Structure 1
Amino acid sequence: MKSRLIIFLLLVVTTSSYAQKVFSVDSQWQADVKVFVVESEWQADLTVYKVDSQWQSNGNEGRWFFTDSQWQADKKVYFVDSQWQADLKIFFVDSQWKAKWREKEKIHLMY
């Protein structure tokens, strides 16, 4: 029982340290990445699934946890109004397994 608890805690700590924690800022100059939400999945560089808790996100695979404060986030994003202003084009998906990079050359933006 004790070893199961230790293994569980290690998994939680490991997963949370690699979580894609994101905070949406109000100004472009505050952002690490400027993001545009496209209308179709095929237009996206990254398909994103919004998770409800930090432990559900895992690595740089498109599962985003939106934090309540800027200091908790790994990346600060700003949602732009035009596609040409964006560093990254995303599409929100309805299933966790659909979250993935479609344009691997932009993967560095979220590390």
Structure 2
Amino acid sequence: MKNLILLLTLVLSFILSSNTSLKAQKIFKVKYESQADIKVYIVKYESQCDLKVFNVKYESQAKKDGLWYVVKYESQADKKIYFVDYESQADLKIYFVDYESQAGWKNNAKSHLLKF
């Protein structure tokens, strides 16, 4: 019986920890580059981006990569970003899409930047 409880506890903790990747992508825009976790550049064309981004209205809607919920306070954010002026300064290049279903990675090699 103890082994069964231990096994269930381990399985439950694994499930909960794997769901953190589904955690909302709460983003806060900082004023200074030194405050940022990620430096971001907005590209003009979808083909140039690493990540296609859609800003959602509610935190509960941000359930996959590329769905960003912008928070009002830095303490609420999962990641702090700073928008740079030049592509060469960026850690991540994004393109804003018109529809939620379009959001997601184009360059999976950069996905580690938004892991929580």
Question: Which category of TM-score, normalised to the shorter sequence, fits these structures?
Answer: 0.7 to 0.9
Residue 92 in structure 1 maps to residue 96 in structure 2:
yes
2:110 corresponding residue in structure 1: 106
Identity %: 46
| Residue among 40, 45, 53 paired with 2:50 | 45
> Unaligned stretches of 5+ in structure 2?
1-18
- Pairing of 1:1-111 with structure 2 (within 5 A): 18-59=23-64, 61-111=65-115
Secondary structure of the structure 1 residue equivalent to 2:27: strand
Distance 1:35 1:26 in 2: 13
Residue deviations 1:12-62, cap 9 Å, x none?
A: xx79x7000000000000000000000000000000000001000014x10
TM-score when normalising by structure 1: 0.83
Aligned length: 96
Distance 1:101 1:27 in 2: 26
Distance 1:44 1:58 in 2: 20
Distance 1:58 1:106 in 2: 18
> Unaligned stretches of 5+ in structure 1?
1-13
